[in-house]
Amino acid sequence: NAGVTQTPKFQVLKTGQSMTLQCAQDMNHEYMSWYRQDPGMGLRLIHYSVGAGITDQGEVPNGYNVSRSTTEDFPLRLLSAAPSQTSVYFCASSYSRTGNSPLHFGNGTRLTVT
């Protein structure tokens, strides 16, 4: 099993550019989520989904967009990149909602916005 596949691993953007971070899982997990990790701070939830067609905002959703058209895929879109979005991004999935089952993480995307 591939688990959670996240691409790209590294990305450099200029301010104002847009891009999509891809996330796919092959475990038939209902719950998928996106986090950002910044120095000195815990992982913070950006957006999450409890099933295909259902998404909701997390703690820091501004500047990001998501969709969940299939169970497998949960892309994260940066609409107009800003330097404050320089961070490491992680996608994660779990069989059910986070309190009840372990999380499986992708390998992360290091994004730099200049």
Partner 1 sequence: KNEVEQSPQNLTAQEGEFITINCSYSVGISALHWLQQHPGGGIVSLFMLSSGKKKHGRLIATINIQEKHSSLHITASHPRDSAVYICAVSYNTDKLIFGTGTRLQVFP
Among 1, 2, 14, 42, binds partner 1 (CB under 8 A): 42
Q: How far apart are CA 82 and CA 84, in angstroms?
A: 5
Among 21, 45, 66, 76, binds partner 1 (CB under 8 A): 45
Cis peptide before 8 (omega within 30 of 0): yes
CB of 14 to partner 1, least distance (A): 24
28: number of CA atoms within 13 Å, CB side? 0
Q: What is the DSSP secondary structure assignment for residue 1, as one 8-state letter? A: -
Kindly state whether residue 31 participates in binding partner 1, applying the rule CB under 8 A. Answer: yes
Residues of this chain that interact with partner 1 (CB under 8 A) are 31, 35, 40-45, 48, 50, 56, 58-59, 88, 90, 92, 97-105, 107-108, 110
